[in-house]
């Protein structure tokens, strides 16, 4: 039931762009995105509640394709502070929640 | 106050010990969660409390016993743990199925 993310890891130079994909074998009713820095707790980035929805948060945005059971996170003009592990997450009702497999992002100067 | 606090930050215990992890939030959230996270892995859901009642138990061994004394507090009682239970234990809260706020976690080592 855990969503699968790709790529598993990515290395960027500052200013470069990246896309992280999240897909599920089961229907996605909503998709969350979190970032976790080493030794810290996950921090919420955004939530997409319905198919076709797109959201932006400064230079980080996401889309949700409900039919394809996929979501993508777009990181534009990456900064050093973007480094960390990105998780998508999905819940099919009020309580159950599953994190994706994770994508480790390393932004270098 | 948008903070979730967890105590202790670190815990080392033997396999015969009994200990408890504590989590607290004052955001009025009605859902509270326990997750277990091993190194380089995503957090795994253990338990969910909704309106102070246990609503989800993801087949967690009985050596882990959750408790929700009131709407702001969540405990995880530990007894007879195994070395493979060593992990980061994260607490989170949310209004419902939306954004989850995470505490800093308790890093548990079982000897």
> Per the CB < 8 Å rule, is B41 touching A102?
yes
Q: Which whole-number Å values give the CA distances from B7 to B11, B21, B66, B68, B90, in the listed order?
A: 9, 6, 15, 15, 11
Facing residue for A44 by CB, picked from B33, B97, B100: B100
CB A64 within 8 A of CB A24: no
Q: A8 Cβ partners below 8 Å, 6+ apart? A: A101, A102, A103, A104
Reading the block at residue A13, the tokens are: 């130079």
> What was the pLDDT predicted at B1?
66
d(CA A102, CA B8): 27
> Per the CB < 8 Å rule, is B97 touching A87?
no
B79 CB neighbour count, 10 Å cutoff: 15
Rounded to a whole number of angstroms, the distance from the CA of A96 to the nearest CA of chain B is 7
Beta bridge partners, A23, equal A4, A70
Facing residue for A98 by CB, picked from B41, B45, B90: B45
Beta bridge partners, B49, equal B32, B54
> What was the pLDDT predicted at B96?
78
b/e for B35-56, b at 16 or more Cβ within 10 A? Answer: bbbeeeebbbbbbbbbeeeeeb
> Per the CB < 8 Å rule, is A41 touching B100?
no
Residue whose C-alpha is closest to residue B100's, from B39, B22, B45: B45
- Locate the chain B residue with the closest alpha carbon to A88: B42
Averaged pLDDT, A18-44: 92
pLDDT tens-place string over residues A53-109: 767 777 899 999 888 889 999 999 999 999 999 999 987 665 688 999 999 999 999
E runs forming strands in B1-111: 4-7, 10-13, 18-25, 31-37, 44-50, 53-57, 64-70, 73-79, 87-94, 101-102, 106-110
Residue B100 touches chain A, beta carbons under 8 Å = yes
Interface of B with A in 35-54 (CB under 8 A): 41-45, 48, 50
Give the 3-state secondary structure of residue A81.
Answer: helix
> What was the pLDDT predicted at B31?
92
Q: Is the pLDDT assigned to residue A12 strictly greater than 70?
A: yes
Q: Spell out the per-residue pLDDT of chain B, length 111, in tens.
A: 669 999 999 999 999 999 999 999 999 999 999 999 999 999 999 999 999 999 888 889 999 999 999 999 999 999 999 999 999 999 999 987 788 999 999 999 999
């Amino acid at each position: 039931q855990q969503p699968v993310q790709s790529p598993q890891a990515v290395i960027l130079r500052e200013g470069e762009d990246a896309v992280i994909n999240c897909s599920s074998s089961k229907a996605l009713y909503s998709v969350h995105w979190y970032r976790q820095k080493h030794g810290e707790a996950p921090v919420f980035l955004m939530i997409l509640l319905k198919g076709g929805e797109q959201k932006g948060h400064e230079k980080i945005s996401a889309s949700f394709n409900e039919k394809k059971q996929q979501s993508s996170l777009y990181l534009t003009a990456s900064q050093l502070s973007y480094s960390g592990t990105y998780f998508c997450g999905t819940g099919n009702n009020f309580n159950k929640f599953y994190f994706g497999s994770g994508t480790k992002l390393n932004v270098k100067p | 106050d948008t903070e979730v606090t967890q105590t202790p930050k670190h815990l080392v215990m033997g396999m015969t010990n009994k200990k408890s992890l504590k989590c607290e939030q004052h955001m009025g959230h009605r859902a509270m969660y326990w997750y277990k996270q091993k190194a380089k892995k995503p957090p795994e859901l253990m338990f969910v409390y909704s309106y102070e009642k246990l609503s989800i138990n993801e087949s967690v061994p009985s050596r882990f016993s959750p408790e929700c004394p009131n709407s702001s507090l969540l405990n995880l009682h530990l007894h007879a743990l195994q070395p493979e239970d060593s992990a980061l234990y994260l607490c989170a809260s949310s209004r419902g199925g939306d954004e989850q706020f995470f505490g800093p976690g308790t890093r548990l080592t079982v000897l």
